[in-house]
A and B are shown apart, each in its own frame.
Chain A
Amino acid sequence: MIDLNGKVGLGFRRDLSEDLLTTNGFKPSFVELAPENWMNIGGYWKKTLDKIVLQYPVICHGLSLSIGSPDKLDFAFLKDLKLFLDQNNVHIYSEHLSYSKAKNAHLYDLLPIPFRQDAIKHIVERITIVQDFLERKIALENVSYYTPVAAEIDEATFISEIVNQANCNLLLDVNNVYVNAFNQQYNAKEFIKNLPLNRVKYIHMAGHEKIEDDLIIDTHGQDIIDPVFELFDFAIKHLDPVPVLLERDFNIPQLNTLQKEINALENICAKNWNLKHAAI
């Protein structure tokens, strides 16, 4: 198993497959893909997937687990998922701390869970079941949200209680922290310090779009802005080296622009984590 800690990867999109598979010098350290877009398939895209798996370490980031849902867990889906992770040599599987299904209807987007004690218990129980079933630890991501819903406790406590009680990992999405801090008007650095940072095993970085004076939408369609780079620099000072992902889902720019963002992230990692290694 290749050590991806401190390395920077890229979210894998179909439009990027040719660039990632040709020898044009563009080669992120790993790729991340959504298993839902790649499992149970064949033909052209399965061949592409097989090539990607041969050339890159693959991390999976799911969309449809719906860990915070009031609905029952979907074991048929979990079975397919486990097979996919095993077949493609995937060691890191993460999902969103949100829900995307209610009343047995998939909604295909990430909805905010009420920050409440009963939701914590419910989700902890479900993570335990999922981790047992998949026979691996999962990492859950702090998601961006545009309004709190029926919150009784603060977000950092909600996340911390869940990952600590369920004994799972945390995927720290630094852009989401920035987006939420802006939208919900809290201090991003304070928020990060209140998270169980020893459980962070993976980081996401992305761009976003400010659509109103007081609202940012987490689009993954823009370049990363400087304040998010700064927040990343701040966050990783408090963390051991972990893999870092550049998420870019829309508006995909020229490869050199992506490469510049990857380089910028690598430099910040090197600055913070190499120093730390040297000190040990």
Chain B
Amino acid sequence: MQLSKETKDIQEQLGHYCQTGQLIKPIVGAKLERLPHYRRLVFNVIKDSLSSAYPLTKSLIGDEKFYQLCFAFFSTHACKEPQVYKMTGEILTYFKEHDVLNLKSEFPFIEELMLFEWTEMEMYMMADLALPKAKKSGDWLHDILVLNPESRLLDFTYPVYKVKPNQLLKEKAGQHFCVAYREKNTGKIYFIDVSPLVALIISAINTGNKLHSIFDELNQSGIKLNEEQKDKIVAFLKSESSLVLGFIH
């Protein structure tokens, strides 16, 4: 490398200062009173991007704690993503391992709330996936149902996707399923609450199983559905035209 160790050290010192606000030693030839502007400008980018990615989390814990969390994250974690919006996803992995503000004991659902907010953002921005070829009409029971490739089946311990954050403290830990998908025309992300049974059926459809054989398998494993229940499931799939895109005969 052409760069001398001394120059490299100086550059890294300034970088470290911007990241942490701490100066290990004075930076050669720099006006010390000007350095806080860099620190401020850098941290503003972080605060603003995280605030717009996690508005619910921010309003739940309040601005002060939220900014403390941003600070703890950015000052101890080396951000890997060259794209700022992707950087906002890095706080999730950080937060899994580091809860310096003890937020999880106060808000047991907070990690899931952040995951929900990130999922919405990430799915809204994610690159387009090619639409599989599917026929517009077909047999709901005996054809393969083609699901929107831009969809995900999610399970949560707390219903973070349907209950307002300030009401979540009243919720007990449980099992909550939803399907998230990106609607083709508007690009909006929808989170549809589904029962554990429908979640199971959707994941079976995703692996290429036809509905009638899914029902058979459920039957064999002791989950017996009457005709009305089966009709309801088909009606639900029919109503979600942005989730079920068509048929393969």
Contact = CB atoms under 8 A, between A and B. Distances in A.
B150 to A, nearest CB: 8
Which of A36, A64, A148, A150 is the most central at the interface, judged by chain B CB atoms within 10 Å of its CB? A150
Nearest to B36: A146
A126 to B, nearest CB: 9
Given A108-B46, A111-B18, A150-B29, 5 more contacts: A41-B127, A43-B128, A102-B15, A113-B11, A149-B14
A77 interface: yes
B42 A40 contact: no
Contacts of A77: 82
A26 B160 CA distance: 43
Contacts of A44: 124, 186-188
B125 A41 contact: yes
A178 to B, nearest CB: 17
A40 B127 contact: yes
A108 B87 contact: yes
B16 A102 contact: yes
A103 B15 contact: yes
A215 B78 CA distance: 30
Contacts of B10: 114, 149-150
Contacts of B148: none
A52 to B, nearest CB: 15
18 contacts: A70-B8, A77-B82, A107-B19, A107-B79, A108-B42, A108-B87, A109-B18, A109-B38, A114-B10, A114-B29, A116-B7, A121-B2, A122-B1, A146-B34, A148-B29, A149-B27, A149-B28, A215-B37
Interface in B1-32: 1-4, 7-8, 10-12, 14-16, 18-19, 27-31
Interface residues of A, number: 46
A107 B124 contact: no
Interface of B: 1-4, 7-8, 10-12, 14-16, 18-19, 27-31, 34-35, 37-38, 41-42, 45-46, 49, 77-85, 87, 124-129, 150, 182, 186-188
Given A118-B7, A147-B34, A36 B15 contact: no
A24 to B, nearest CB: 23
A128 to B, nearest CB: 11
A147 B81 CA distance: 27
Contacts of B2: 118, 121-122, 125
A70 B12 contact: yes
A60 B83 CA distance: 15
A110 to B, nearest CB: 9
A102 B49 CA distance: 20
Given A42-B125, A108-B45, A147-B35, A70 B87 contact: no
A150 B83 contact: no
A114 B7 contact: yes
B93 to A, nearest CB: 15
A131 B85 CA distance: 26
Interface in A51-70: 63-64, 68-70
B18 A107 contact: yes
Given A43-B126, A122-B2, A146-B34, A106 B79 contact: yes
B79 A105 contact: yes
4 A-B pairs with the lowest CB-CB distances in the bound complex, closest first: A102-B15, A44-B187, A42-B128, A105-B78
Nearest to A120: B2
Contacts of A125: 2
A4 interface: no
Contact of B12 (A41, A103, A217): A103
A150 B30 contact: yes
Contacts of A188: none
Contact of A37 (B15, B31, B37, B83): B83
A112 B13 CA distance: 12
